[in-house]
Amino acid sequence: MSIRLVTGGVRSGKSRFAEQLCASLQDEVIYLATSRVLDAEMEERVAKHRAERPANWKLIEEPIQLAEAIHEASPSALLLVECISAWVANLLFAEKLDEEMTNEMRNHFLKKVAQKAEELLQSLEGREAVLVTSEAGLGGVAMHPVSRLFQDALGEVNQRLAQEAEEVWLVISGVPWRVKG
């Protein structure tokens, strides 16, 4: 398994860098999109990303069942997973948690996300992959309990993925910095 993790803040240039990295590594690329298109602005962003990608890249859209989608993808292709942070957000929204959640509900979700991250890593065994995520630790602590839960879950997932990754890249203002590998 060869995982490259690309992280950075929102609009940092991490997606562009990840796409350039993939294009330099292999011709057969599967772009596994986890975002849900819920409004016109997001639709425009997705269309822009599609137009910028090479035409021969295959697209798979899967907001929740990431490991299952990877199992079904061509094993010879390089996987570009865009992005882990949207996937964690989708898992959180599926739980329908609100500010009234109990500590038990919070802990249950954190365990569930940790298990999903392990399933993701298992699905990547023997594969080449570039994973894009947002860096949860670059902003302040969220004021809303559900937002804090998202930060906690994403931070834990990112740390686990970085632990297994051969390379970790941090993109700041369009400048990629190799921090591991």
Give the pLDDT confidence of 29-72 residue by residue, as tens digits: 999 999 988 788 888 887 887 888 888 999 999 999 999 999 99
Annotated binding residue at 13?
A: yes
Mean pLDDT, range 105-118, rounded to an integer: 98
Give the pLDDT confidence of 131-155 residue by residue, as tens digits: 999 998 777 888 899 999 999 999 9
Topology of domain 2-180 in CATH is Rossmann fold (3.40.50)
Query: Please, what is the end-to-end C-alpha distance for the chain in angstroms?
Result: 14
Annotated binding residue at 15?
A: yes
- Beta-bridge partners for 81: 32, 131
Annotated binding residue at 33?
A: yes
Q: Is the pTM of this model over 0.75?
A: yes
Pairing type for strands 175-180 and 167-172 reads antiparallel
Annotated binding residue at 61?
A: yes
Give the pLDDT confidence of 76-104 residue by residue, as tens digits: 999 999 999 999 999 999 999 888 999 99
Annotated binding residue at 8?
A: yes
108 is known as an active-site residue: no
Of 49, 71, 108, 144, which is the active-site residue?
A: 49
Looking at this protein, which amino acid is placed at residue 139? Answer: G
Instruction: Supply 82's token pair.
Output: 């865009």
What's phi and psi for 106, nearest 5 deg? -60, -50
- At residue 110, the pLDDT reads 98
Does residue 1 carry a pLDDT above 80?
A: no
